[in-house]
Amino acid sequence: MSQDWDAGRLDSDLEGVAFDTLAVRAGQHRTPEAEHGEPMFFTSSYVFRTAADAAARFAGEVPGNVYSRYTNPTVRAFEERIAALEGAEQAVATATGMAAIMAVVMSFCSAGDHVLVSRSVFGSTISLFEKYFKRFGVEVDYVPLAELSGWDAAIKANTKLLFVESPSNPLAELVDIAALAEIAHAKGAMLVVDNCFCTPALQQPLKLGADVVVHSATKFIDGQGRCMGGVVAGRGEQMKEVVGFLRTAGPTLSPFNAWIFLKGLETLGLRMKAHCANAQVLAEWLEQQDGIEKVHYAGLKSHPQHDLAARQQRGFGAVVSFEVKGGKEGAWRFIDATRLISITANLGDSKTTITHPSTTSHGRLAPQEREAAGIRDSLIRVAVGLEDVADLQADLARGLAAL
């Protein structure tokens, strides 16, 4: 974009607008072409007016694009929109959700630092900490997610980060984010929250006291299972470190994927309301069925953290997990009997998915690690989509009949 260009009236005035308006319009800066939709900038590099201009851009002395590994207008639009929705000063996009977690730890931790991680996190998150971060001298311990006293007791003098998913994958367990932030800050540590399951449409951890939020944009932010990406959001000074990591290491989001995510964000609020409504109906129905031993969904009054979820979230989410009679064999029979729902480990899609966590998303964990995380062989996870809920219920009834 020309430094002489002034979009003026062509850009939207977003002062004081609501969440759904930000989800549609935040981050867009129109070019001299005056386009209505967001453009895609497919370029690896950028040209400069003079050698001095190039030197100043590379040195960070003047703003502007340098190289698409870490500056791209389409990616920046996505970052600015996420920052607006999360209430962050800045967001930084990454190639995947796992790359976002990697970027946080690599940006803020060094060998000898200590990280506390919830036991209730995605299997690949545990693998990243156990197999890779530990190898480079980062100490890692695990704490039951909901037990605030356990977090307080486990913090050491060298603890740098507390890392949680809330709600967790796949058991919909929660932690009181505001209370945990106070515990972390009292000991000089940062709180990082994986907000993938809720998205900012349902929960804004930064406003509850968290320091950093991470997302797998692959999930609900996209909303249709099309492409992969991640994002980190927080204060500007913190995000400078993350940008520096991307500039050097390069786990960068592509402009095309950023454009897809921008389109996904336009319907995020509407979709999350519909996801939550369908999930609530199915969770209540499953809880009444023979063959179901337990349903994990914070929208149920039987959930031990129902009140906490109602207080810190604006909805209960789209993921319903439940335990069936018959262990692994029963769970597999249930899954195989469905005919509408997709058997896949992805979630956040408009299409409902079903999976067996102990042999898929958490399959690489040792049996004792799965047990500690509450991932039993009888557990099934359904990520509820946007189909007619009666059709979803009928398909799950096929699974029940197979038990």
Nearest one of 84, 19, 32 to 314, comparing CA atoms:
19
What do you get for the CA distance between the two ends of the chain, in Å? Answer: 61
Residue % of the chain over a pLDDT of 90:
89
Mean pLDDT to the nearest integer, 157-161: 98
| pLDDT attached to residue 4 | 61
pLDDT beyond 60 at 317: yes
| pLDDT attached to residue 9 | 79
Chain center to CA of 103? 14
| pLDDT attached to residue 42 | 96
- 323 C-beta neighbours (distance < 10 Å), count: 18
Which residue has better confidence, 75 or 123? 75
Distance (Å, whole) CA 55 – CA 34: 30
Distance (Å, whole) CA 33 – CA 392: 45
Mean pLDDT to the nearest integer, 215-224: 98
At residue 361's C-alpha, the angle toward residues 270 and 144, to 5°, is 85
Q: Indicate the SS3 state at residue 57.
A: helix
Residue % of the chain over a pLDDT of 70:
99
Mean pLDDT to the nearest integer, 269-275: 98
pLDDT beyond 70 at 5: no
| pLDDT attached to residue 91 | 98
Q: Indicate the SS3 state at residue 323.
A: strand
| pLDDT attached to residue 3 | 52
Mean pLDDT to the nearest integer, 360-389: 87
pLDDT beyond 50 at 334: yes
Distance (Å, whole) CA 23 – CA 303: 31
| pLDDT attached to residue 2 | 46
Mean pLDDT taken over the chain: 95
Tokens encoding 60: 């960070």
| pLDDT attached to residue 372 | 74
Which residue has better confidence, 125 or 2? 125
Mean pLDDT to the nearest integer, 155-176: 95
Decide: 403 and 291 in contact? Cβ < 8 Å. yes
Q: Starting at the edge strand that comes first in sequence, how are the strands of the sheet with 379-383 ordered?
A: 292-296, 319-324, 379-383, 353-355, 342-343
For 10-38, the pLDDT digits (tens) are 899 999 999 999 999 999 999 988 899 99
Q: How confident is the model at residue 90 (pLDDT cuts 50, 70, 90)?
A: very high
Give the phi and the psi of residue 115 in degrees, each rounded to 5. Answer: -125, 135
Number of alpha helices (DSSP H) and beta strands (DSSP E) in the chain: 15, 12
| pLDDT attached to residue 160 | 98
Q: How confident is the model at residue 234 (pLDDT cuts 50, 70, 90)?
A: very high
- Angular region, 16: left φ>0, alpha ψ -120 to 50, beta rest: left
For 30-85, the pLDDT digits (tens) are 998 889 999 999 999 999 999 999 999 999 999 999 999 999 999 999 999 999 99
| pLDDT attached to residue 1 | 41
